[in-house]
Amino acid sequence: MRAVDYFDKGAETNLDRTAIIAADASWSYREMRAATESIASALWAGGLRNQEPAGIYSHNDARVLFCMLGIMRAGAVWVPINYRNATDANVEYMNYVEMTWLFYHSQFRDSVREIKQRVPSLRGVICLDCEDEGHPSLDTFMERGVGAEVPDWGDAYGNIDRIAGMVPTGGTTGPAKGVRVTNLALGTMTEMATHYWRGDVEHPVCLNTAPLSHAAGVLAFVMCSLGATNVIMPKFDPLEVLRNIERYQVTHLYLPPTALYNLLAHPQVRNFDYSSLRGVLLAGSPVAPDKLRSAVEVFGPCICQSYGQTEAPMILTFLDCKTIAAAAAGAHPERLASCGKPTLAVRLAIMDEAGRILPAGERGEIVARGSLVCGGYYKMPEATAEIRTHGWHHTGDIGYMDEEGYVYIVDRKKDMIISGGFNVYSAEVEAAVMALPEVYECAVIGVPHDTWGEAVKAFVVLRPDVSLSEAVIISHCKQKLGGVKAPKSVEFCDEIPKTAAGKIDRKKIRAPYWEHAERQVH
């Protein structure tokens, strides 16, 4: 089906149910669908041409979802813009995808002023919340579509190869690439997420606290297909998240691991009722096993985990609530380090550099096949071909699969440290350091070393009012991992640098140590 068809199916059977709660306002599915229809009509009245890119540049706001769905309904291409990015990075991406339309929130008017000057392809600029510097508000813009017809661009197959979104990759190793998210890939993700994540819940209530410009927006879209109520928070606030779970009887919640760690560390984490929770989905990066165990203890048997990426969104694998709860209780505890089993829509395998599929237990690159895989990179045939070698999609992640089919991610391929000829994976060392209760956050990189080529170095953020020595951390890691993989040095810091997507910015951490080196490996 077309992406918007999933929303319409959910709306048609829940017209009078509350679709969105945000700040002091709420909207029913009837009102939400009408708004998306008005946005689509206004785009066509304003001269939309088929499959033009239309971006959304805003912090969390209910109108972000209205515009996302309106863009899809119009047959344009949805482009989420990361408001945490520098303006230069966003301008570069907008010019790359030839952005034509831009919906923005007025708090970003200074950036939009510059964007207009530097992105010549822009024809229509609409402010979500007010009339702003000659740009119509979203309400005014929707009025312009009265009487305009939106062409019926559907077909009997659901336009499966048509582009629904042009989603930027993280861009940590260079400029962001535009992933061509087809209706087939987005539809597959929606069907897999509803199958694996919904659980036995008649009327889901989903709390959206992560940026809607990332996975949270896609999952809010998924929940709309179920007729769920989406509660939208303007930003992540640990105490407000805990309060809102109880206040709104939240059943579903998506969190990146760093947000989970913030919740678990909050002094009031045990002061609220979490009995309504059925699916707390963790995704975005591996979760430290000890944190998973703590999460089950605090929030109950509702913790689940998925693995995916922009190029194969969200749900290549799934680790269900029962398996995590059992592992936390001592049954197959090793599965707390797994990201689950491959989902129904994909085949997953582990591959070596020569393209050979590896047996259970052997480490290599995780590769995938199936309808979840997107349509490659926009205007980058060489980069697309590079991740499609040997007839599989290459994730760039290193891992292995056990005899029961559980997948374990060891590291990103590019994050591998080679020390004394041995492969050391950052994620493996980080998990060992994070097992120490005094540690709040950790990042591990390789730094130049005359003897070993690279030496393992850990950057550690401690919890408030605790102390821990470098020697204790190194000794602990030696016991868990052995001498080769244990950090050779530890640096304590106040925070770990993050990318705009909220992931560890290894490029920034590595820069001071490698700036005078001829290459980034030894």
The ranges assigned to domains in the chain are: 3-17+29-182, 236-412, 420-514
**What's the distance, Cα to Cα, between the start and end of the chain in Å?**
49
- Please determine, for residue 324, whether its predicted confidence score (pLDDT) is greater than 90: yes
Following CA atoms 147, 153, 157, 160 in sequence, which dihedral angle do they give, to the nearest 10 degrees?
Answer: -120
> H helices of 210-283, where?
215-225, 238-247, 257-265
376 — alpha (psi -120 to 50), left (phi > 0) or beta? left
Give the pair of three-digit tokens for residue 81: 């813009």
Residue with tokens 């068809």: 5
Q: Which of 207, 264, 259, 203 is nearest to 234 (CA)?
A: 207
pLDDT value of position 520: 43
Task: List the strands of the sheet with 124-127, edge to edge.
Answer: 124-127, 101-104, 53-57, 77-80, 163-168, 178-182
Q: What is the pLDDT averaged over residues 126-131?
A: 97
pLDDT-wise least confident of 23-27, 81-85, 443-447, 475-479: 81-85
| CB atoms closer than 10 angstroms to residue 388 | 14
Question: Of 286, 291, 297, 287, which is closest to residue 329 (Cα–Cα)?
Answer: 297
Q: Residue 286 pLDDT > 80, yes or no?
A: no
**What is the reported pTM?**
0.83
In residues, how long is the chain? 522
Q: Convert the pLDDT of each residue in 392-401 to its tens digit.
A: 999 998 899 9
Nearest Cα residue to 208 out of 198, 219, 200, 199:
219
For 27-47, give one letter per residue: b (16+ CB within 10 A) or e.
bbbebbbebbbbbbbbbbbbe
**CATH H-level, domain 420-514: superfamily:** ANL, C-terminal domain (3.30.300.30)
Which sign, positive or negative, has the C-alpha torsion 173, 176, 182, 186?
Answer: positive
Matching residue, tokens 């629904």 = 164
How many whole angstroms separate alpha carbon 127 and alpha carbon 134? 10
**φ and ψ at 367, to 5 degrees?**
-125, 155
Amino acid sitting at position 398: I
- What's the rounded Cα separation, in Å, for the pair 149 and 82? 31
Query: In the predicted model, what is the mean pLDDT of the chain?
Result: 92
Name the pLDDT band for 452 (thresholds 50, 70, 90).
Answer: confident
Task: Give the range among 270-274, 280-284, 502-506 with minimum mean pLDDT.
Answer: 502-506
* Percent of the chain residues topping a pLDDT of 90: 75
Q: Give 3-state DSSP helix, strand, coil % of the chain, rounded to 5.
A: 35, 25, 40
Do 262 and 405 touch, CB atoms closer than 8 A?
no
Sheet architecture: strand order including 393-401 = 346-351, 364-370, 393-401, 407-412
Fold of 236-412: Rossmann fold (3.40.50)
Over residues 28-49, mean pLDDT? 97
d(CA 255, CA 447) in angstroms, rounded, equals 31
Q: With 90 as the cut, is the pLDDT of residue 431 above it?
A: no
Burial code of 408-441, b = ≥16 C-beta within 10 A, e = fewer?
bbbbbeebbbebeeeebbbbbbbbbbbbbeebbb
236-412 matches 3-17+29-182 in CATH topology: yes
Q: What is the mean pLDDT of residues 345-349?
A: 96
Q: Which of 121-125, 372-376, 407-411, 441-445 is least confident?
A: 407-411
pLDDT at 203: 94
Which of 51-55, 284-288, 426-430 is least confident?
284-288
Q: Write the DSSP assignment of 200-228 as a string of letters.
A: S-SS-EEEE-S-TTTHHHHHHHHHHHTT-
Could you tell me the fold of the domain covering 3-17+29-182? Rossmann fold (3.40.50)
Looking at residue 448, its pLDDT comes to 86
Cα within 13 Å of Cα(474), Cβ side: 14
